[in-house]
Structure formats: structure tokens, C-alpha cells
Amino acid sequence: MAVWAYQCVGGDDGATVWFVPRTAIDELPPEVKTVCVKVGSQWLPAVVDRTQPIAVDGMLVREVVAGNVE
């Protein structure tokens, strides 16, 4: 089933892309650009692109939170 998501770019080379739920990002203040995406058991930093929602398979969507997570 497709869900609406935003794209997040992470990694030192900027080549890693994850999809996060649009609803989770829309709950964050508009000035939040840096998020942490859950990949396996780790939370990794990424920059969210709010300019264009994307319809993706729900299984591809990852958990996301604002800022740094330890």
C-alpha cells in the first residue's frame, strides 16, 4: 500500500536516501531540517526535503524524529 512520504538524504556523501512519513514531518516545526532516521537499531542523521511529498510503498517508510538521538 502506498503512503505519502518525504525524502531524507543522509551519509557523508549525500547518496543515502530514506523515506519518512509525511505526517511525522508535518508535525515538526517548519524550521526543522535535520532529523534522525531509524535504520536497523541505529538513529542516523539526515536532511529532510519537504518540497515534494512522494507516494512510496509503506514498507519503505522509516521512523523519524527531530534533531539528535542518542
For residue range 10-68, what is the model confidence (pLDDT) as tens digits?
A: 977 778 999 999 999 999 999 999 999 999 999 999 999 999 999 999 889 999 999 86
Half-sphere exposure of 46 (CA within 13 A, CB side): 26
For the chain, how big is the Rg over CA atoms in Å? 11
H/E stretch holding 42 reads strand 42-57
Beta-carbon contacts of residue 43 (< 8 Å; ≥ 6 apart): 36, 37, 65, 69
pLDDT at position 68:
62
Is 90 exceeded by the pLDDT of residue 6? yes
Domain count of the fold of the chain: 1
Specify the pTM.
Answer: 0.87
If one compares 70 and 44, the residue with the highest pLDDT of the two is 44
Is 90 exceeded by the pLDDT of residue 69? no
Domain, as residue range, for 62: 2-66
